Amino acid sequence: MASHIREFLGHEKPSDYYSKLAEELERTNSEYHAFNVIKKDTEAKNQVPFSTKANICVKGVETTAGSKMLRGYVPPFNATVVERMLKEGSFSFIGETNMDEFGFGTFGINTEVPARNAFDSRYAAGGSSSGSAVATALLKYHVAIAESTGGSISTPAALNGVVGFTPTYGAVSRYGLIDYANSLDKIGIMARSSDDARGVFDVIRGRDNYDVTCAIEKITNNKKGKLFVIEELLEKADPKIRSEFERLLDKLGKEYEIKTISMNILSDAIEPYYIIAMAEASTNLAKYNGYKYGFQYGEFNRRYNDFFTEARSNFGMEAKRRIILGTFIRSESVKARYYTKALMIRQMIINEMGKVLKDGFVISPTLPIPTPKIADVEKLTPVQNYALDVFTIPPSIGGFPHLTFPYAYVNEMPIGAQIITEQANDYALLDFSSKWEESFQYKYKHNIGSL
């Protein structure tokens, strides 16, 4: 598919382009709730509009990570990715997008006003980067800077029919990101084409002195001739999803060798992922007590326990659940039984997947079920919800780059497939997806900003 970035930059825009765009977004946002903040005073300089997830700091813009606890927080600096986008000269910031509180969620409903699917507002947008995906599906000329911990880019991208690219852990700086789980968080991109995602990746990747984990400089493009399907994972997919995925494999089989393999260790990936993620989340959220960090609820002249309790009661239900479970997991009496073992299993997953990915890509559906309605998601138990991350957690826990691309429609809603490669081989994914886009036709309902 042709690059929307190149198309946009190739035509001069009217002087009132951004003001009209902001007006259109305000109207549309009342239905889809993609944005938490829409910037209205941007000058038209023929720059491509870009948005950031609400946990990525933008100087002078309220950045709440979708939580009441950070209400009123206005960063005095830009995250490294934002700084690099602005300095590049081809991009203009237009707003911050909706998300699950602190990134805690699969379907974007763990926030005050959930984002709604761009194809049908009755359906879930996916999470936690829900607003990023919806904004990308709504806007013809736009790229989104998003963030993923365990599938937070892949899932909403799949449900809204856009490309969701999660780079290798350490390829993109996390400086200026409000953390969920430090060893798992990755800043990535959503776009309407893989070429657009590549253009943004070229701008934001690279070492950063402000982030010691951002250590990967060289990104390769080692093309693969094999596609591996993990038997234990595919068994967990809904029959409709499996049927469409098999059709996709038939098409891809003309160019790639398709091989089904067994990898039992991935059947156990969800448990260690959530143990690690919750332990790190509870640590990161401990500082939000209303004194130095977090919104101040009331005056400082009260007893500490009263002040602290009232402040932290403003966390949402899912945040409270992860704080409690994470604190329990980290406690001395059970740490060896849960957290230490989770780290061991994580390393086993990295080793096993690493061996396979040297020989080819791993491909799977992105989500095991068709796009659900918001009303149905609200009925899921936490355990049922977590289990739906079965395809996105393996690459996330191992820090492997992965990309979701749209490939079919079920019940007139888009579904996505996820492709994974070895660490630091990110460009191979973008090339793979770009080839696929030549044969798959997007059917967007909206083209806001197509002036």
Asked whether residue 349 carries a pLDDT value surpassing 70, the answer given is yes
pLDDT at 160: 97
pLDDT digits (tens, 9 = 90+) for 264-312: 999 889 999 999 999 999 999 999 988 888 887 777 778 878 888 888 9
- For residue 128, indicate whether it is catalytic: yes
Highest mean pLDDT among 289-303, 341-355, 435-449 belongs to: 341-355
Q: Is residue 4's pLDDT more than 50? A: yes
Which tens digit of pLDDT belongs to each residue from 96-136? 999 999 999 999 999 999 999 999 999 999 999 999 999 99
Which of the following is catalytic: 3, 13, 39, 53? 53
Which residues partner with 349 through β-bridges?
none
User: Tell me: the pLDDT tens digits for 39-66?
Assistant: 988 777 889 999 999 999 999 999 999 9
| pLDDT value at residue 2 | 61
- Which of 128, 130, 396, 434 is an active site residue? 128
Q: Write the CA distances from 227 to 107, 249, 361, integer angstroms.
A: 28, 9, 5
Q: Above 90 in pLDDT, residue 432?
A: yes
Separation between Cα atoms, residue 18 and residue 449, nearest integer Å: 9
Q: Could you tell me the residue ranges of all domains in the chain? A: 4-220+401-437
Q: Which two tokens stand for residue 141?
A: 């000329």
In 3-state terms the chain splits into helix, strand, coil percentages (rounded to 5) of 40, 15, 45
Residue 379 a catalytic site member: no
In this prediction, residues 224-232 reach a mean pLDDT of 97
Tens digit of each residue's pLDDT (9 = 90 or more) over 143-186: 999 999 999 999 999 999 999 999 999 999 999 999 999 999 99
- Give the CATH number of domain 4-220+401-437: 3.90.1300.10
152, 282, 396, 434: the catalytic one is: 152
Say what the pTM is.
0.96
pLDDT at 30 over 80: yes
Give the Cα separation of 344 and 351 in Å (integer): 11
Q: How many CB atoms lie within 10 A of CB 301?
A: 6
DSSP-derived secondary structure for 107-172: SS-SSSS--B-SS-TTBB--SSSHHHHHHHHHBSS-EEEEEESSSTTHHHHHHHT-EEEEPPTTSB
| Cβ contacts of 119 within 8 Å, gap of 6 or more | 137, 160, 161, 371, 412, 413, 414, 445
11-26 pLDDT, tens digit each: 888 888 999 999 999 9
Where is 429: in which H helix or E strand? helix 426-437
> Which carries the bigger pLDDT value, residue 446 or residue 98?
98
d(CA 387, CA 338): 18
Q: Does the annotation mark 148 as catalytic?
A: no
- pLDDT band (50, 70, 90) for residue 451: low
What is the pLDDT, as a whole number, of residue 381? 96
The pLDDT, as a whole number, for residue 76 is 97
Pairing of strands 257-261, 226-230: parallel
Confidence of residue 1 (pLDDT cuts 50, 70, 90): very low
Q: Token digits for 392?
A: 């996105």
